[in-house]
Amino acid sequence: MNGVLELSAVRKVYPPPTAVTALDGIDLVVGAGETVAITGASGAGKSTLLSILGTLERPTSGTVRVAGAEVSALSDAALSEVRATRLGFVFQQFFLLDRLSVLDNVATGLIYRGVPPRVRRERAVEALYEVGLAGRIGHRAGQLSGGERQRVAIARAIAGRPAVLLADEPTGNLDSATGAEITTLLSGLAGDATTVVLITHNTEVAAAMRRQVHLRDGRIVSDTSVDTGEVSR
């Protein structure tokens, strides 16, 4: 399968005093439009894997491809360009500016992509409609509930029309009902050909994704797809 994300023999070793092998020979291909949950116990390597997929960290060895392009050896400036044009990020902490309006929080996320101001606002409005927050556009972010704030964070990520959306425990700070709504929203993005990869400890969130990749001690120990039922390793 040709993938929008491809890792081959990826290792990540943190030097002393940590001296930890966080990833140990990861082979992973994620296709366009897939929804993937990365699971495993604390310390299994989930966050490191997500960081390498998002080009936020470099592997110690192995190759990483985003949309077919090898990124392991790119300069910091080139990696920033990949993140700006190919990837969107959603974090557990939201990282919104409370004094700005919902619209401005989403639109400012496009500044570093070089999008003109008028287009930034148009895309921000479109993204907010997509996540069901059309009625909150003029509100300040500080006036929103936790679930609404996470929706704004998702809108900010998808406004740039990334090929891949990477999410780090996106429901971790939410109650179960709101978390279920966010999970449904994320899994539905695949209908727009957006690839979604998230890490989670929540079994219900993982089950809502069409593929579950389980890590243990820096290695993939199972890779299960709803479509094929296949389990590898």
The tens-digit pLDDT sequence of the chain (233 residues) is 568 999 999 999 998 887 899 999 999 999 999 999 999 999 999 999 999 999 999 999 999 999 888 998 889 999 988 888 889 999 888 889 999 999 999 999 888 778 899 999 999 999 999 899 999 999 999 999 999 999 999 999 988 888 899 999 998 888 888 889 889 988 888 766 789 999 999 999 999 999 999 999 999 999 999 766 665 55
Would you give the end-to-end CA distance of the chain in angstroms? Answer: 17
Residue 24 lies in a domain: yes
Does residue 31 contact residue 3 with C-beta atoms inside 8 Å? yes
Q: Assess if residue 103 is contained within a domain.
A: no
In a domain, 85, yes or no: yes
Q: Is residue 196 part of a domain?
A: yes
Do residues 173 and 200 lie in contact, with contact meaning Cβ atoms separated by under 8 Å?
no
- pTM, entire model: 0.89
Q: Is residue 44 part of a domain?
A: yes
Domains held by the chain: number: 1
- CATH code, domain with 169: 3.40.50.300
